[in-house]
Structure 1
């Protein structure tokens, strides 16, 4: 689809707006330099971006302390929640961010135009939440795992609402065993019991985490229990559709009071996590049990369908790849072809 051509007047207006924004940023930066030189700012110190609001952001000091509303130096762009920064406190209680530290990783999602946009940084684990009700499907879990693997951030499976499980565990326990055999951590939790978050809290200790998962699995309820002092709204679970809705609007980093140094980054842009930005090769590599077999097919352009000498098909026949996981992989790739 070709881009719409702009008229000369439209281009002039856009350039004028951009120039005005640049001028204001330069003036702000010049005032910062004057105030820094005058000693109005304290020494440089490390911090973490708690939330982002355009040219201003909340920065949490390292260790204990309340977040400080800071603005950015003009040469700093693209900061996101979770970024580690260097900042200086002002006498009036505000601050200025002067540098960004190197990122361990960044979590991105497509914007309305399909361009990848960073939404959070320096995350230790992605907690994929599913529940006894609505009943999870293996293909849906696989989709979230593939999306998580593409980020390079460790995924963890969280089974919520275990109070609804039958005593024997049923097919769901069997399904979880399949993922545990692949090396994925699995945590069981419920908000219906006082001790229902014990295993989850242990997993959150000392780590920065994000929750993802389909609507209705109880992400907001879990977060509400983990952050009892925060004003988090919980979407209603419809008795008819058994689906919930989230209402959080801004990516924000929370320090978990009941854990040892645990932090949580939450926003709808993170919770709604999909595969639309991935290609077939990335999906293939997202199935971790495939990796030892990739590159061993007879044909370089093998698509792992019916080609002779396909290393993945041979691994399925030998029992090294579970046939249901391979079938799930094929459904995901077929969906990419359709779109």
Structure 2
């Protein structure tokens, strides 16, 4: 009996038990981690329990209240031999109880680790599903952003076309301004010409009036002379024939003077007509200048309204893009947080597997 229990004690020593691999039910992949270390202690305890089932039954019979003389161990405990088998049996019994308690603790720890692994795997699956949903949502957002970018490029093309149209209208407006400037120059030249013409006509009128006054003075003198001649006609009949030539000359001069006097109202009428035509032309030029200025104001208001509307549209689209960029940043932050959470879960799982 002493030899049998010595062999049992030696077989239960942990240093002489070989390492066994991990069972296939516990060695599956959990989220990218593996059970790299063999499950030595539990398998050792299981093998020790299976190999020593007979001896454990003998030892358990001691604690079950049965008769001490029914087993070999009881007979050995009751024996009075001094070979040391009794002390070895007590030591073996205490070690066996300690190993059974450790085995139960390790089994409970293994069950708890299995539950934690299953819960971690379920959480990892949920996280992977959330991550896939977030990735699909981010891809959809990226596609929507790409579509919005294409639309913004189209709008930018339209804005460039409108800008080209505005530049062309600006060129046309510049041409109109040049035309208005040329018309103003023509107006100034015509006004200067009119002023010169008026001055010349005023000078001519003054000269004609001076001539008229002089001729009127001459007429008055001639009339005075004629009256004097008529008064002296009776006295100067004998001088009539001698002065008939001079009288005819005087009459011809009178005819000329009368023709000049007859032409003076026509000249005055021509001057008045020319002045009216000049005033009408000036008013027409002023009306054209006012119409051109109003057209320029309308063009400026149209350009300002188009520029403001385009600027508002571009500002709205810019704010929309900034808001979408912020949403994408938030999604990226959520993805980073989820990746960090997944990394922490993997690290905890790896640390748990290394501890096992």
* Shared fold per TM-score greater than 0.5: no
Select the structure of larger CA radius of gyration: 2
TM-score by length of 1: 0.13
Which structure features the higher share of helix residues? 2
Determine which structure has greater relative contact order: mean sequence separation of CA pairs < 8 Å that are 6+ residues apart, divided by chain length.
2
TM-score by length of 2: 0.12
Which structure features the higher share of strand residues? 1
